[in-house]
Structure 1
């Protein structure tokens, strides 16, 4: 931050206290945001749970504050309510004590350091603490803007008797959320009471001073208009954060196997199907077996990430028939985790078979890579629907070997696939414009800095 800019705002030295949940898709954008804000002269404290803690040595300029969470493992989606309740209950006290300590330490200081809380909506205790202490707070939403109205409307749909949804209605459009169908709604696989409890937990009780969304104006104009009409606080579109402010080192919780890059170097341009179902999803051995046969039978090169312990009841892929694995190795590479941003930017990648988490979706959009959509839950079905129906640079895959084989060939070597690649490249260009000087996200970040200084 320029000295003149600081002087203009009374010479205060703002300290930003950021906290994100211990999920890869939430922590990564928060660290990218912290890197950007630090480059603008703000002091950064990262308050984090002990579970999946970030590595302080990768961010030497930040102060790290571990919060006692008493949690040892990230749960399956079915246990999300209990997990979030425990996470928030356990982290709250230490977080509040730390902030009170900072406030008390500067009671007699001539130049006080103002404090602003920035938190991901799953760490809702932070907003409550900020309210109790009279501190301004800003929410970073790490899912798509289109997911927000879809979550917000769930209690209304239940009150009107439209949820739980009948099987015959799953394909029907939710009239308020076009083009989303009932089957695309977040948390649709959970029992309705659990869904309502989850929505109640993650929708803010106290309005924040502002919202940030890791998205771009051109991608989701309709959802952003709805949000702005509903919330009379500033809405900053600051995405994609990984492009605006790359972190100096990996933010991955898992060790990345970079050897796959040299394998990709030997492949033809846009020929490889990259397959990764994210950092949380679990599948059973039948699904993985169908995926393996589909990849093998497609006769297309592939890079397949199979996370250890992501297959129920197995360590890795030891259950696959030996002959099938041998056949797969002739045209593909299977790894346990990959440097995804680097992979998607590689010239050899022609398509991305993904769970459609928002970070993965943004990374694919940013590199102009069309997608095969294999959503599981949370916001993934919303993202999948937008990829296929709005941005038209992907389609949903049916997990059966013959369908998979056809889908891979359709994306990589058909005329329709070519058209999707073209649309993906057009979106990539718009993303580049958005993050460049004078682009919508660039301007929004500038406004965000001014807003924080005005608090």
Structure 2
């Protein structure tokens, strides 16, 4: 379904919010056309009718069409419970004066340093005592609470109460206290994650021939697995900032120097479109080239599941997108977090302060800090983080095993769907 933006419109980085705002305007008409086309196939006997819709919880343009057609709907949110709950409480955050976080015309390097960013948030139940203003979801980093994107997230999240149910890709042992807060407003809540391992576990019950599907946006360069095969066990930090993060050339060099100066081996995913202010004539300092040849390997995209499962990998330097966070949790992989936007800012706080599975270096991009944190992850606190990550991975495995919380919740969801349809 088209997003309503021109083909050449930028869609990476912070511009992704423009996709959502465009879909809010154009998506309803496109969805109506889709449903009318489906109905014609139903009438011709070529397809069974749509009797229930599971939909993304921030794209409510479909609701008027579904209500008109009398089709029940269920929300599935692709963020964690912590981010969903903070977004749900945005009005309370506004009322408490804890946003906006950004001054007018203030660049990110300026507001990153503001002391007010480290004040504790008091308006999100269940997060008192550890959530700072800088940890609030990126949408709160506005200079005006009437900002269109900020208001859209607030409005769309509150509409979750109208759905027949809410599905979250998480599990009770990871986010139980926050799930309990959400259930006070949305009782019919199903935590069924980690979905990527849950799906494989369910399929394994039916067949021994399971092909691992890739959901990658980019072509995977599997040569990195061969490189990993030649590295010692637990010696490599895997670096990937996801499919939409954009770095400036200055930020790129700070990360690069930090990694090289740490003296640790690293595998770095660097998308072709991930750097702005860079060109073919921009020379890479000799010391970075030499350090990378000695201890590093770079690819445009990697088979992340396989990388995280590789015995040579010891930690994940990540943007803390929810999928990457859950993949790390399920894989027993400690995380060094540098969140970029969206839900990543709150995910990284939970990783470091609640689950204690790694370190959070949000709102800084300094080679000295990066060097120190990489060494902390790979040397100084390595055993501590590996043990914590292994313990959480066991809880994730328990959740998707028969009798586990996510296993039972998926069974309950299936029964609910049968009753709804």
Q: CA deviation at 1:390?
A: 0.8
Distance 1:230 1:141 in 2: 16
Instruction: Find 1:221's aligned residue among 172, 176, 184.
Output: 176
Instruction: Find 2:369's aligned residue among 393, 403, 406.
Output: 403
**Residue 397 of structure 2 corresponds to residue 432 of structure 1:** yes
Residue 319 (structure 2) aligns with? 355
**Residue 86 of structure 2 corresponds to residue 135 of structure 1:** no
Aligned pairs for 1:238-253 (under 5 A) are: 238-246=192-200, 248-253=212-217
Q: CA deviation at 1:114?
A: 4.9
Moved more, 73-82 or 209-218: 73-82
**Contact persistence 1:294–1:401 (CA under 8 A):** yes
**Contact persistence 2:165–2:186 (CA under 8 A):** no
Residue 417 (structure 2) aligns with? 452
Instruction: Find 1:263's aligned residue among 198, 206, 227.
Output: 227
Q: Deviations over 1:287-323 (max 9, x none)?
A: 1111111111111111011111211122589542134
Aligned pairs for 1:41-190 (under 5 A) are: 49-50=1-2, 71-76=7-12, 78-103=14-39, 105-106=41-42, 113-165=49-101, 167-175=114-122, 176=124, 177-178=127-128, 179-186=130-137, 187-190=139-142
Moved more, 117-126 or 313-322: 313-322
Residue 206 (structure 2) aligns with? none
Residue 211 (structure 1) aligns with? 166
| Alpha-carbon distance change, 248 to 412 in structure 1, aligned in 2, over 3 angstroms | closer
- The number of aligned residues is 388
The alignment's TM-score, normalised by the length of structure 2, stands at 0.86
Q: Provide runs of 4+ in structure 1 moved above 6 Å.
A: none
Aligned pairs for 1:297-376 (under 5 A) are: 297-314=261-278, 318-376=282-340
Q: CA deviation at 1:330?
A: 1.0
| Alpha-carbon distance change, 73 to 217 in structure 1, aligned in 2, over 3 angstroms | farther
**Contact persistence 2:98–2:121 (CA under 8 A):** no
**Contact persistence 1:283–1:311 (CA under 8 A):** yes
Distance 1:328 1:70 in 2: 39
| Alpha-carbon distance change, 408 to 77 in structure 1, aligned in 2, over 3 angstroms | closer
Distance 1:86 1:71 in 2: 13
Q: CA deviation at 1:191?
A: 2.8
**Contact persistence 1:213–1:237 (CA under 8 A):** yes
Residue 7 (structure 1) aligns with? none
- 1:87 counterpart SS class: helix
**Contact persistence 1:375–1:384 (CA under 8 A):** yes
**Residue 208 of structure 2 corresponds to residue 272 of structure 1:** no
| Alpha-carbon distance change, 82 to 402 in structure 1, aligned in 2, over 3 angstroms | closer
| Alpha-carbon distance change, 168 to 248 in structure 1, aligned in 2, over 3 angstroms | closer
Distance 1:302 1:95 in 2: 44
Distance 2:27 2:64 in 1: 12
Q: CA deviation at 1:202?
A: 2.7
**Contact persistence 2:140–2:150 (CA under 8 A):** no
| Alpha-carbon distance change, 112 to 286 in structure 1, aligned in 2, over 3 angstroms | closer
**Contact persistence 2:13–2:246 (CA under 8 A):** no
For structure 1, list consecutive stretches of 5 or more residues without a partner in the other structure: 1-48, 52-67
Residue 105 (structure 2) aligns with? none
| Alpha-carbon distance change, 400 to 162 in structure 1, aligned in 2, over 3 angstroms | closer
Q: CA deviation at 1:203?
A: 2.0
Residue 342 (structure 2) aligns with? 378
* RMSD of Structure 2 on Structure 1 (CA): 2.4
**Contact persistence 1:273–1:352 (CA under 8 A):** yes
**Contact persistence 2:357–2:388 (CA under 8 A):** yes
